[in-house]
Amino acid sequence: MSHVIELLKSHRSVRKFSDRPIPRELLLELIRAGQGAATSSHVQAYSVIHVTAPANRETIAELAGGQGYIASCADFLVFCADMKRPTEASERTGANVVRGMTEQLIVASVDTALMAQNVAIAAESECLGICYIGGIRNNPQAVSDLLRLPEHVYPVFGMCLGYPAHDPDVKPRLPVEAILKKDYYTDDREQVEAFDATMQTYYQARSSGNKNTDWSHNLTPLFDTKLRPHMRDFLVKRGFEMK
């Protein structure tokens, strides 16, 4: 098995960081590695905000739901889907530009996610820890105002980076049989039920018996409390009209 595959399979979220700074040139190399990701039609529809001001990081930590490691990590990045740059570049050629299409939102969001995952893998290859912060979408307008994001740009997620100060276990994943389907979509309830048992054992061990739950029960917030119904109106105001 290659070391790259082993690295990919060893990902875990790190939320405690040492005081050791990340060298500036290494941070730039991580961004360059991110730029090496696949991008739809070479659009490169992303921008990354490196948030360095302590007050701004504290504010984002609160806006994201009180996630203090945003303020304590060595570096904090906000990955933004950016259709402003390619739209305006196309306009300057004299093209008849149509804004606000759903496809543009998808392209920018996918480009951003692919770029960020390259950054994450590159960081972990350099013994850094990372943690994605989807909580910035709790208050996307406030985050956008703080970062002075223009129209046609929206914050997709943040990322904490730093040298780990703890060594969390790798969280189990669904069995590949549930994910990889041959020729047609097939039911995976049996694999999910087996995975629930695996996750219940994992949570019990991690919490010394204090957390009695499984994967299916942990999904509840996505369909109950973490709905973020404000996102559609927010995206429309950003210029992503989803026509």
CATH of the domain at 40: 3.40.109.10
On whether both 24 and 35 belong to a single domain, the answer is yes
41 band by pLDDT with thresholds 50, 70 and 90: very high
Q: Are residues 164 and 45 in the same domain?
A: yes
Supply the range of the domain harboring residue 193: 171-212
For residue 56, give the amino acid letter: N
Do 127 and 186 fall within a single domain? no
- State yes or no: pLDDT of 208 exceeds 90: no
pLDDT at 1: 87
Find the range with the poorest average confidence among 6-10, 203-207, 221-225.
Answer: 203-207
42 assigned to some structural domain: yes
In this structure, are 19 and 93 located in the same domain? yes
Instruction: Look at residue 196 and tell me whether its pLDDT is greater than 90.
Output: yes
Same-domain check for residues 95 and 185: no
Which percentage of the chain shows pLDDT scores above 70? 100
- pLDDT recorded at residue 209: 80
The CA radius of gyration of the chain, in Å to the nearest whole number, is: 20
Find tokens 């998808």 and name the residue.
106
Distance CA 80, CA 46 (A): 5
Q: Is 106 exposed, middle or buried (CB count within 10 Å of its CB: 0-12, 13-18, 19+)?
A: middle
Residue 221 lies in a domain: no
Average pLDDT, stretch 123-140?
98
Q: Note whether 179 and 113 are same-domain residues.
A: no
3-state DSSP call for residue 133?
Answer: strand
Q: Alpha-carbon distance 97 to 104, whole Å?
A: 12
Average pLDDT value for residue range 92-116: 97
> Is the predicted pLDDT of residue 48 greater than 90, yes or no?
yes
- Please report, for the chain, how many H helices and E strands are present, in that order: 12, 4
Domain count within the chain:
2
Percent of the chain exceeding pLDDT 90 equals: 96
Residues 98 and 8 in one domain: yes
| Same-domain status, 182 and 166 | no
Q: Are residues 50 and 154 in the same domain?
A: yes
Predicted pLDDT at 232: 96
Same domain, 11 and 112: yes
Instruction: Calculate mean pLDDT across residues 157-175.
Output: 97
- Position 177 scores a pLDDT of 95
C-alpha to C-alpha distance for 130 and 7, rounded to whole angstroms: 13
State whether 51 and 100 are in the same domain: yes
Pairing of strands 75-82, 129-133: unpaired
Q: Is residue 207 in some structural domain?
A: yes
pTM of this structure: 0.96
Assess whether pLDDT exceeds 90 at residue 211: no
Per the prediction, the chain carries an average pLDDT of 97
In-domain check, residue 40 = yes
Q: Does residue 49 lie in a domain region?
A: yes
Distance from C-alpha of 128 to C-alpha of 119, rounded to nearest angstrom: 11
Same domain as 195, residue 161? no
The pLDDT of 24-46, averaged and rounded, is 98
Instruction: Classify residue 219: in a domain, yes or no.
Output: no
For residue 242, is it within any domain?
Answer: no
pLDDT level of residue 207 (50, 70, 90 thresholds): confident
Domain annotation covers residue 194: yes
Residue 36: the pLDDT is: 98
